[in-house]
Amino acid sequence: MKIKNICCIGAGYVGGPTMAVIAQKCPEINVTVVDINDKRIAAWNDDNVDNIPIYEPGLSRVVEEARGRNLFFSTDVEKAIDQADMIFISVNTPTKTYGIGKGMAADLKFIELCARQIARVATTDKIVVEKSTLPVRTAEALRNILDNTGNGVKYQILSNPEFLAEGTAVDDLMNPDRVLIGGDIDTTEGAEAVEALVDVYAHWIDRERILTTNVWSSELSKLTANAFLAQRVSSINSLSELCEKTGADVNEVAKAVGMDSRIGPKFLQSSVGFGGSCFQKDLLNLVYIAKSYGLNEVADYWEQVIIMNDHQKKRFAANIVKTLFNTVSGKKIGVLGWAFKKDTNDTRESAAIYVVDYLLNEQADVVVYDPKVNAEQVYADLDHLNTRSEAENRARVTVVNSAMDVTKDAHAVAVLTEWDEFKSLDWSLIYDDMLKPAFLFDGRRLLNRAEKEKIGFEFYAIGS
């Protein structure tokens, strides 16, 4: 079975970059990415390729090469579904905010809507690929919806979770550690569908790195991978607090521990806490699934990873208040960085949102700068928390276009995203511009303590 037309439902951080790379690497396959958000689709189609809606290093060049050739962005979801042999579902699967499982379970309403739309529109057999991160056994629900339409169309359902990390999405897609494809491998039709997707990836990835499993293993592996990654962050962050009390330095500890080949050096960077759209959502989902099977010890084990992360954000903010003589009321606090990590404009679940919310509760005046995040997004993130009125968020928070505007007359500056440009700021000038004592809080272990203390800063860094 050779795939000629791919449709991807959802033009977000996963659908957009993933399909751009497939289109670039498979010029003979037509790839159409569809979304109900017409503003997003218009941005993907912007004449100036640097205006595409997602910032990822290298992405605009990939889009530039393939767009209009075999990569298309459209709001005509039904047409793209009808024409495709293979349909990726790449829509968002946020944590439920209502009803049973509120605050824990994944909200699968967008997935279900896609399945119902496919069932309504399809006139030819389709391979449906779960690209979104889903609870284990979601494919069963999809199959139920798709197989009960009675129009004679046959479906194969595959699970192909995406492991890319934002900020390095293009590199991760070009050269993945592995590609995981789950399918109904015990049937001929299922094995053929798996093979068809393997063929797509085999255009640029060695077959040894393309794993095929049953659907449930594939679905659960993605949740497990994110749980393990988040757990490492919370593990090192838990020790950062102990380091601060004991005189140990968390970076030195991480280095010593990470040189053990059984542990490895990656993902041992202590910080103000993990963010992003996935880790917390997927952990909560894992906890919910474990609880729903009555596995309370399993659920508690993974829940602690989130508890630790919340604690880390809170204690960082609380330390700012404590250090500034127990009050930040009416004080200007400069915030460098709003994105959840460097090299992305994604702010979902960013630690910065929660740290600033805490400081606003303490009546601070906050000034924010992020190289890739605009004021509209900063206010939207704060409004979304519903902690105070939208008017108050705008009165207390100012968003500026340069790091130097953040630091002018500030009582304290906090580095909350590890953007490279913050390392090379003119920190002597910043010191001169700030009120004294000039407090500097490094939530990312980005800055050199000795240099900053020599300039005159009162310097605090996580884990030292």
Catalytic residue among 26, 114, 243, 278: 278
Minimum CB–partner distance for residue 56 and ligand NAD (Å): 10
Catalytic residue among 162, 166, 219, 418: 162
Minimum CB–partner distance for residue 213 and ligand NAD (Å): 17
In 28-171, at which residue ranges do the beta strands (DSSP E only) sit? 30-34, 71-74, 86-89, 126-130, 155-159
| Residue with the shortest CB distance to ligand NAD | 12
Identify which of 263, 303, 261 has the alpha carbon closest to the alpha carbon of residue 284: 303
| Closer by beta carbon to ligand NAD, 67 or else 281 | 281
Decide if 162 is catalytic.
yes
| Closer by beta carbon to ligand NAD, 9 or else 128 | 9
The residues pairing with 73 across neighbouring beta strands, listed in sequence order, are 33
Identify which of 422, 430, 271 has the alpha carbon closest to the alpha carbon of residue 352: 271
| Closer by beta carbon to ligand NAD, 13 or else 354 | 13
Minimum CB–partner distance for residue 278 and ligand NAD (Å): 5
| Closer by beta carbon to ligand NAD, 113 or else 306 | 113
348 CB burial (10 A radius; 0-12, 13-18, 19+): buried
| Closer by beta carbon to ligand NAD, 19 or else 308 | 19
Where are the alpha helices (H) located in 324-389, listed in sequence order? 351-361, 375-385
Catalytic residue among 222, 281, 332, 341: 222
Tally Cβ neighbours within 10 Å of residue 35: 23
List the end-to-end C-alpha distance of the chain, in Å, as a whole number. 57
Minimum CB–partner distance for residue 291 and ligand NAD (Å): 20
d(CA 451, CA 460): 13
Minimum CB–partner distance for residue 75 and ligand NAD (Å): 8
Here the tokens at position 400 are 């500026």
Reported for 142-146, long-range contacts at CB under 8 A and 24+ positions apart, including other chains, are 142/111, 142/115, 145/112, 145/115, 145/116, 145/119, 146/115, 146/118, 146/119
| Closer by beta carbon to ligand NAD, 5 or else 238 | 5
Angle at 51 between CA 48 and CA 57, to 5 degrees: 110
Helix axes 138-147, 109-121, angle to 10 degrees: 30
d(CA 356, CA 363): 10
Dihedral angle, C-alpha 278, 282, 284, 288, nearest 10 °: 160
Interface residues toward ligand NAD, by CB under 6 A: 9-15, 34-37, 40, 77, 90-93, 110, 113-114, 132-133, 162, 164, 166, 277-278
Decide if 7 is catalytic.
no
Decide if 222 is catalytic.
yes
The residues pairing with 399 across neighbouring beta strands, listed in sequence order, are 368
| Closer by beta carbon to ligand NAD, 15 or else 463 | 15
| Closer by beta carbon to ligand NAD, 13 or else 316 | 13
Q: How distant, in Å, are the alpha carbons of 219, 324, 347, 456 from that of 176?
A: 18, 45, 24, 45
Identify which of 322, 395, 398 has the alpha carbon closest to the alpha carbon of residue 358: 322
Contact 111/134 with Cβ under 8 angstroms? yes
Known catalytic residues are 162, 222, 278
